[in-house]
Structure 1
Amino acid sequence: MTISISRKPLLPEGLTRQLAGQLTGTGPTVTAYAPWTGEPLVDVATSTAADVDAAFAKARGAQARWAATSPAERAKVFLRYYKLVLHNKKLMDLIQAQTGKARFTAFEETIDVAGMALYYARNAQAFLEPRRRKGGIPFATRVTELRHPKGVVAVIAPFNYPISDGICDVIPALIAGNGVVFKPDTQTALAPLLARELLIKAGLPAGLWQIVVGEPADIGQAMIDGADHVCFTGGNEAGKKIAEQAARRMIGATMQLGGKNPMLVFEDADLDKVVPAAARASFVSGGQMCLCSERIYVHASRYESFLEKLVEHTRGLKLGQGFDFEYDLGSLSHQRQLDKVARHVDDAVAHGAKVEIGGKARPDLGPYFYEPTVLTGVNAACEIATEETFGPVVSVYPFTDEAEALRLANATEYGLNASIWTKDLGRAHRLAAQIKSGAVNINEGYVSTHISYDAPMGGRKASGYGRRHGEQGLLTMCDVQIVASQHGISFDPKPGVTHEQLANQNTRIYQIMKALRLK
């Protein structure tokens, strides 16, 4: 593997201090460290539960005025935001410095947020306008469906994609007319702070989007207690606790949780196209993405050839650090991620798996670097067989027929993302419908579904519930109300008419309406 290291200052000190200074928490100050080097990056003022309560109060005060503006006016803010975020170099610098990821992966975050802003700016007005619905009695009952903002939405974002997995919940929440209280991971607070600053520059009222920082044990309950809806991206155990707390308050929740995503490679697939995409889908962001492929199943007739090509391609990947596009993979983000990756690989080897390439940490490059790793011979006794690794490790297995491929693809508790590679699109679509996953990509690993903003995306089974993107992703942030007005026909019996006679009369009316296809 090629090594590429650029020894430049991590970030201008003035920028980090200016952004961190926006946090007004009264809790302890903690230090965020740069994953590339382990050096201190910035001191962050954390929030207390009282600070969170104050943030909700500020957001709620601004939300009433914001909700009174038209969706068209709100959309103008996000059209300007699109231009400010797209290919924003400072934003990419911050993402890299806080997560350790490669430059192009940081660019994927900025273009994702820009694309989401543009999509909802173009479509929110149509999604939010009142809609006529069929009434119970044609012509006599007139029904209108209204969409109202919920109030203030709590968004809890993960460390691995601090703006893509966080701001992409903030955008539909705000454009629907809500306020937002946003909790980033303490390690990755700077990029969301800059993203907020840019949105205020685009015209968002400053009080509408509040950012708080702190550990779940300290402010998690306050986040749920103040919210009218909760969006969470992260681990399954934390997701279950948040969902339970939200349910106790009878508020909605959108949960995007973990994945153990399968890729199926059939005998007719073009391996020269599959292999680079499979490596990207497995190792992007150091494997620290919930959509990453962690299990690749290859038809037995192509297994050896695929494995040889994947190992050779992985050998050519550039592992490094720096604010440029000269390398493919960066560092993991935390010691806990490095420990989990190493534990999963060591456990697999202890149970008979083989490391085809990689399989070791690289402390010579930085504290959390780990080589991209390909495993074979993984069996059911290995932790890595069914548990999400969230690192640059993929296991490769052979299969013999479609039935076995489907069984293996569906063999974990997760159901977030999947990938199918074949030239037979009829077969691909038929199999995709049978995979218990919220998203299935055909002849791509994860990008096709992820950037199709008009299509709702989310998990099945243990991978969560609720949807991002599309009309459904916006309406998740709304309360739906129906208003029905009655004209001419009353539902009470006329004088001298018994309830039995009225029932018989209504039965005849229903039969007539069915015959005339009015119902």
Structure 2
Amino acid sequence: MVAEPATAPSPTTAPRRAGLPAWLTPARIERLAAHVSAAPDAGRVTTNAPYTGAPLAGLPVSAPTDVEDAFARARIAQKTWAATPLSARRRILLRFHDLVLARQDEVLDLMQAENGKTRRDAFLEVTDIAITSRYYARTAAKYLEPKRRRGAIPLLTHTTELRHPKGVVAVISPWNYPLSMAAGDALPALMAGNAVVQKPDTQTALSALWALGLMREAGLPAGVWQMVIGRGSSIGGALMDNADFMMFTGSTASGRRIARDAGERLIGASLELGGKNAMIVLDDADIDQAADGAVAACFPSAGQLCVSIERLYVAESLWDRFVAAFVARTGRLRIGAAFDYGVDVGSLTTPSQLDTVTAHVDDAVAKGATVLAGGKARPDLGPLFYEPTILTGVTPDMTLYAEETFGPVVSIYPYRDVEEAIELANSTPYGLNASVWSGDGARGRAVAARVRAGTVNVNEAFAAAWGSIDAPMGGMGDSGLGRRHGADGILKYTEAQTVAHQRVQGFYPPARISPETWAALLTGALKAMKAAGLR
């Protein structure tokens, strides 16, 4: 049996500096809200600042008819936008890239104000969107321009693959990464020649609306990208009924409903859903590096990250030393509210998320789990703060053993050998992200290839795979369908068309040759093509 390490002290409390930045006035918020597609007399919904619980923004609420009107405008705008040369679309995305970097302080403040994350976590979203806009601006032509394909009959069949935009894409984006998930999924759809009607989560809509405003400033025509605000139960049906493609990031339960409805309409859908991501520390891992990596894997954005780690498996031979190092590092994290880079862990975003985290931890402790670090809310810092938490002794009868917590909570387990570690990592219906730590890169990659997850990072938490934007990112199993990034990230927003021009002679015999003779000639030609190595 491995020994239980001593629990860590409570995380360091950072100075509380949670007042809104001076520039973020009601007038500025209202200018952002004006980008919402809603009737002039629409009702309003109020969002609250997670740091303090105080009211933040009053946003117009879109009705189903507003969604239908947005799609009608988008269809008109999309025809012109699709006819716009790729070079012109490219220039708009590159201008947007520059504007995001130049005015990043605005959106950093917005993300912190409405999501509660730290500034360092918000900055990763800025870098993500800069990378995404530059990548698709520079690679779209390679993916979208007509491509010659091998014809049916060499020299006689001229075959071309064309890529046409789907039309109007619906994007439903979540609250946890309000810039990355909003702009990151819209940009390739726009670059492919589609229009976009988007429903960002109401709690974090300001960040998405900021991105929309910046794209229009960069030159995107009016109507090509529009946003609606409202509950899925109210306007989700209108989005589905009018969309030519659905891009959704959210819960597995909602994703199943969207997949079913998209199937009924025979439209495509890309779904990034839940996860219960695993990290494996192999017996040859560097303990200090792996412990640092575990902190980076489990607690960014207060654990409200689809690809963050919630299950951690450690080789028995390293258990005592690794757990002691991990617990000590977790105890040194600075938790608090600040619009600067002086905090390591910020707030949860919504009361319901705090309720979930609290319920999962309390249930585990009541059933015998041991808290090694954290384990409690911090109302002294703000209404939605929860300490970074490490649990051991978690068993299958506990809720957080298998269900996604989506908070700053990780359960940690010892394992005997690599086969057991891989089996444990794969013992979930989810398959979004995973992490493997080893002193031998080749060994780490070999283990990673056996983990059932859409992305697996070796000696890194999640940023290596996420930032490798030329490679696909997405989930297996209950973690979703489709991929973002790379070729898949833009081609999914297109319809493939084959145009084949047959010249001189086709597959049917000319009048002067009998069908039997023609069949013999073609048979000989097929054998000759195989002998020549032709495909």
Same fold (TM over 0.5): yes
Give the letter for the 1:62 counterpart. A
Q: Which residue is equivalent to 1:259?
A: 275
1:272 maps to: 288
**1:14 is aligned to 2:24:** no
- Could you tell me which of 36, 57, 71 is aligned with 1:42? 57
1:113-512 alignment runs, 5 A limit: 113-495=129-511, 497-512=513-528
**DSSP-derived class of the 1:125 partner:** helix
Q: Deviations over 1:408-429 (max 9, x none)?
A: 1100000000101001122112
**8 A Cα contact 2:37 2:67, kept in partner:** no
Letter in 1 for 2:56: L
Per the normalisation by structure 1, the TM-score is: 0.98
Residue by residue over 1:109-162, the C-alpha shift from the partner in whole angstroms, topping out at 9 and shown as x without a partner, is: 111111100111111112111101111111111210001111110000001111
**Alignment partners' CA distance in 1, 2:146 and 2:512:** 40
Between the aligned partners of 1:217 and 1:501, the Cα distance in structure 2 is 66
User: Matches of 1:149 and 1:83 in 2, distance apart?
Assistant: 26
CA contact (8 A) 2:35 2:213 kept: no
Tell me if the contact between 1:153 and 1:181 (Cα under 8 Å) persists in the aligned partners. Answer: yes
User: What SS does the aligned partner of 1:305 have?
Assistant: helix
- Runs of at least 5 residues in structure 1 that lack an aligned partner in the other structure: none
* Cα displacement (A) at 1:430: 1.4
The whole-number CA distance in structure 1 between the counterparts of 2:379 and 2:18 is: 16
Displacement, 1:211? Answer: 0.4
1:376 deviates by: 0.4
Q: Which runs of 5+ in 2 are unaligned?
A: 1-10
Of 36, 46, 57, the residue aligned with 1:23 is 36
Matched residue, 1:82:
97
1:63 matched to 2:78: yes
What is the alpha-carbon distance in structure 2 between the residues aligned to residue 7 and residue 141 of structure 1? Answer: 67
Greater CA deviation, 490-499 or 416-425?
490-499
Equivalence for 1:3: 13
SS in 2 for 1:455: coil
Q: What is aligned with 2:8?
A: none
1:247-272 deviations in Å (ceiling 9; x for gaps): 11111001000111100101111121
DSSP 3-state at the match of 1:374: strand
CA contact (8 A) 1:149 1:477 kept: yes
- Letter of the 2:451 counterpart: I
The one-letter code of the counterpart of 1:122 is: R
* TM-score (normalised: structure 2): 0.95
CA distance in 1, matches of 2:531, 2:515: 24
Letter in 2 for 1:51: D
SS in 2 for 1:380: coil
Q: Which residue type is aligned with residue 13 of structure 2?
A: I
How many residues align structurally? 519
Distance (whole Å) between structure 2 residues aligned to residue 457 and residue 238 of structure 1: 20
Query: CA–CA distance in 1 between the matches of 2:524 and 2:366?
Result: 74
CA distance in 2, matches of 1:56, 1:429: 45
Q: Secondary structure at the match of 1:290?
A: coil
Q: CA deviation at 1:352?
A: 1.6
Per the TM alignment, residue 496 of structure 1 is displaced from its structure 2 partner at its CA by 5.7
Please state how far the C-alpha of 1:35 moved relative to its aligned partner. 0.7
Q: Is the 8 A contact 1:416 1:460 kept in 2?
A: yes
Q: Which amino acid aligns with 1:61?
A: I
Amino acid across the alignment from 1:8 = G
Distance 1:468 1:283 in 2: 24
1:504 CA displacement:
3.3
How far did residue 505 of structure 1 move? 3.0
Cα displacement (A) at 1:501: 4.1
C-alpha contact 1:138 1:518 (8 A) present in aligned 2: no
Q: Which runs of 4+ in 1 moved over 6 A?
A: none
Secondary structure of 2:91's match? helix
Out of 6-15 and 224-233, give the one that drifted further. Answer: 6-15
Partners of 2:143 and 2:20 in 1: how far apart?
46
CA distance in 2, matches of 1:250, 1:160: 30
Name the aligned partner's letter for residue 258 of structure 1: G
Partner letter of residue 12 of structure 2?
Answer: T
Q: Say what the alpha-carbon RMSD is for the aligned residues.
A: 1.2
Q: CA deviation at 1:22?
A: 2.6
Deviations 1:62-85 (A, max 9, x none): 111111011111001011111111
How big is the shift at 1:194? 0.8
Aligned partners of 1:300, 1:278: CA distance in 2, in Å? 17
* 1:518 to partner: Cα distance: 2.0
Deviations along 1:156-203, one digit per CA (max 9) or x if unpaired, are 000111110121110000000000001001111111111111111111
Counterpart of 1:52 in structure 2 is 67
What secondary structure is seen at the aligned counterpart in 2 of 1:302? Answer: helix
Partner of 1:516: 532
1:488: how far off?
A: 2.4
1:22-79 superposed Cα distances (whole Å, 9 cap, x missing partner): 3242443111111111100011111010000011111111111111011111001011
Identity of matched residues, %: 49
